[in-house]
Amino acid sequence: MIVRDFLNKSGRKVTTFKNNLPGIDWVNNFITRYKHWLSTRMCQNITKKRAEISTEVINKFFDNIAHVLQGVPDTNIINYDETNFTNDHGKSQMIFRRGIKYPERVMNFSKTSYSVMFAGSAAEELLPPYVVPLMPVATMSVKVAGSTLTRFMIGLKLFGCPSVRIWKVTMC
């Protein structure tokens, strides 16, 4: 599509391409010719909002957090991280410049089946994981519900977030 758009915008017509769109053989030969610059990798889908985060925003965050956390004991500093286990088959192989560490395709959706939240304190204490199914509890598989993970969000999610009442009951 990039080649076709380039040819159309520059007003060129390549007769060997059907509708100015190169075939798979041309693409494979192009990648082979420029293998020192290009590689094919599986890319990860991310939202447009996440793609807008810059190094400047991240640096401002760490400058601010260093100031805010002065004098706070390590046991009171807890970091949460959420991991989504997906059933998304939308990942596809794409062409990237060689050396790209995290190939990503910006999309406004991705399918997930459930999330797991991990938490650890700055005093090196790891809390048990917390599983949040993103599906009705009745359809949750027995394997997931009967696993060794210790905490599950059961009940309704309000506006996409677990309610405080359910969180307290589960955490106690």
Nearest to 96 by CA among 56, 51, 44: 44
Helix (H, G, I), strand (E, B) or coil at 63: helix
What are φ and ψ of residue 113, in 5° steps? Answer: -105, -45
pTM over 0.85: no
| pLDDT above 70 for 144 | no
User: What does the pLDDT read at residue 5?
Assistant: 92
**Stretch (H or E) spanning 79:** strand 78-85
User: What does the pLDDT read at residue 164?
Assistant: 42
User: What does the pLDDT read at residue 73?
Assistant: 92
In the chain, where are the structural domains located?
34-171
User: What does the pLDDT read at residue 1?
Assistant: 80
The rounded distance, in Å, linking the Cα atoms of 141 and 167 is 21
| pLDDT above 80 for 65 | yes
